[in-house]
């Protein structure tokens, strides 16, 4: 009887303290005028999202809110899932090329990354894939964010990009007497097998390779292939066997097709993609990550960056062609995942990419899907990200208007939640 009395007393205390209990367990309820179901385009009115800890418990219209839950009333705002950028370089800033790059230390780049991680999160991007950083600085940044040391999005980090000697992923700004090679350089089948294992050893969550030359590099041709098919097959085989996906920087049409045949998971940029390349990508489910807004920003601002004339000449040739060819690929139904190449232009402007997709023929919903359902599948995280559904991370953003009518609303994100915690509110923004 004594034990029964104690149990009844404990139960009574728990019942009387349901509000306190809800707050202790982190239960929150978001109320908003509408939510966009990014899979279908349907709009749910008077939506309530119940959040428990860092996950969504329940979503629906006019749901009953648990007693004691913290209520976050967003009024007339529209909510969407947190956005995903599949191609960033958080540890770099615009103009950080050439001599400036060579004189910037790895620790300094990590701190640049902390600044840019905050800007990216504030812009509504709660998850990013960082594809290329020196000295594993992006992996250090990822770990610092995961530990709560600095604010930022979830990061799937590649560490150093893999590339051939003298290629786009090998910094060649120093004279021969310095004998410098970038930390991702590897040649031949044994070399690329060892390098793939090495970057995974040091924490890479995705492997980035350079299949062709690039634009913002000296002495190479964006149309020319770099890694051979055999080398890329080796990288992809090792990466997939060890549970990592592979992103291939590829501008030229031949390099795109070779990378797809090698089994990569995404083609980054795709400037000279042709009909055969689109067909191969559709057959194999390979995503195109277009990075298009950078063309507008760069051609308007390159004079401020102090770049060598040869790089500017390449940009003026490649960037207009990129829009034409990718517009055709969109029309043919190539799978697309959102990416920006932020660092070529200022971080935090990532949302401007959406309107370029719409101008090239996508509907606003299709453009939104590239940064939600599509990108989550590319990252292999569709069970946790990409939509506002029960069981997924409570990554949610809010805007004033309707992005299904005006996709530029996503350039003006007003409120951001990551993992159940409010990280940006337009009425209270942490200083950088």
Segment 394-428, tens digit of pLDDT? 999 999 999 999 999 999 999 999 999 999 998 54
The better pLDDT of the pair 13, 73 is held by 73
pLDDT band at 275 (very low <50, low <70, confident <90, very high): very high
Beta strands (DSSP E) in 165-250 are 206-210, 245-250
Please work out, in degrees rounded to the nearest 5, the angle formed at the alpha carbon of residue 283 by the alpha carbons of 270 and 392. 80
Average pLDDT over residues 125-147: 97
CA dist., res. 367 & res. 364, Å (int) = 5
CA dist., res. 90 & res. 129, Å (int) = 10
pLDDT band at 431 (very low <50, low <70, confident <90, very high): very low
CA dist., res. 325 & res. 359, Å (int) = 14
Cβ(229)–Cβ(258) under 8 Å? yes
pLDDT band at 181 (very low <50, low <70, confident <90, very high): confident
Q: What domains can be seen in the chain, in order of their start residue?
A: 20-81+388-425 (2.30.40.10), 83-378 (3.20.20.140)
Q: Is the pLDDT of residue 2 over 60?
A: no
Average pLDDT over residues 335-363: 98
CA 332 and chain centroid, separation: 24
137, containing H or E segment: helix 137-146
- pLDDT confidence of residue 95: 78
191: exposed, middle or buried (Cβ count in 10 Å: 0-12, 13-18, 19+): middle
CA dist., res. 167 & res. 214, Å (int) = 8
Residue 107 corresponds to which tokens in the numbers above?
A: 């620790």
Strand partners, 399: 78
Average pLDDT over residues 334-348: 97
Please state, for a pLDDT cut of 90, what percent of the chain lies above it: 84
- pLDDT confidence of residue 98: 56
- pLDDT confidence of residue 299: 94
Q: Is the pLDDT of residue 21 over 50?
A: no
Q: Is the pLDDT of residue 212 over 60?
A: yes
In 211-264, which ranges are continuous DSSP H helix?
229-241, 253-262
The per-residue pLDDT for range 88-116, each reduced to its tens digit, is 999 999 976 655 667 789 999 999 999 99
pLDDT band at 176 (very low <50, low <70, confident <90, very high): confident
Average pLDDT over residues 234-259: 98
């Amino acid at each position: 009887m004594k034990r029964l009395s104690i149990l009844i007393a404990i139960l009574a205390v728990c019942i009387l303290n349901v509000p306190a209990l809800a707050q202790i367990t982190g239960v929150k309820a978001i109320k908003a005028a509408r939510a966009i179901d990014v899979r279908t385009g349907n709009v749910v009115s008077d939506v309530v999202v119940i959040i428990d800890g860092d996950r969504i418990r329940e979503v629906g219209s006019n749901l009953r809110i648990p007693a004691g839950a913290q209520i976050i009333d967003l009024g007339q705002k529209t909510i969407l899932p947190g956005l995903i950028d599949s191609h960033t370089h958080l540890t770099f800033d615009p103009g950080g090329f050439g001599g400036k790059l060579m004189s910037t230390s790895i620790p300094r780049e990590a701190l640049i990354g902390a600044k840019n991680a905050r800007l990216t999160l504030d812009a509504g991007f709660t998850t990013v894939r960082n594809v290329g950083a020196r000295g594993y600085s992006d992996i250090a940044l990822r770990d610092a964010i995961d530990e709560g040391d600095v604010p930022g999005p979830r990061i799937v980090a590649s560490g150093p990009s893999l590339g051939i000697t003298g290629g786009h992923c090998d910094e060649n700004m120093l004279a021969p007497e310095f004998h410098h090679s970038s930390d991702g350089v590897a040649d031949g089948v044994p070399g690329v097998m060892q390098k793939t294992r090495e970057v995974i050893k040091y924490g890479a969550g995705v492997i980035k390779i350079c299949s062709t030359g690039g634009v913002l590099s000296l002495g190479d041709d964006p149309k020319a292939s770099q890694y051979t098919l055999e080398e890329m097959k080796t990288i992809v085989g090792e990466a997939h066997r060890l549970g990592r996906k592979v992103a291939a920087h590829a501008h030229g049409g031949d390099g795109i097709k070779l990378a797809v045949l090698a089994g990569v998971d995404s083609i980054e940029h795709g400037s000279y993609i042709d009909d055969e390349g689109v067909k191969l990508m559709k057959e194999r489910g390979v995503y195109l990550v277009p990075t298009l807004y950078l063309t507008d920003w760069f051609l308007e601002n390159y004079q401020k960056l102090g770049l060598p004339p040869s790089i500017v000449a390449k940009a003026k040739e490649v960037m207009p062609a990129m829009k034409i060819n990718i517009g055709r690929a969109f029309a043919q139904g190539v799978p697309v995942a959102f990416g920006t190449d932020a660092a070529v232009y200022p971080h935090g402007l990532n949302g401007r990419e959406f309107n370029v997709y719409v101008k090239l023929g996508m509907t606003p919903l299709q453009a939104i899907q590239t940064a939600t359902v599509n990108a989550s599948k590319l990252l292999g995280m569709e069970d946790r990200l990409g939509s506002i559904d029960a069981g997924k991370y409570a990554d949610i953003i809010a805007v004033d208007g309707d992005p299904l009518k005006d996709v530029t609303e996503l350039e003006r994100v007003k409120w951001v939640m990551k993992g159940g915690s409010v990280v940006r509110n337009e009425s209270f923004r942490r200083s950088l």
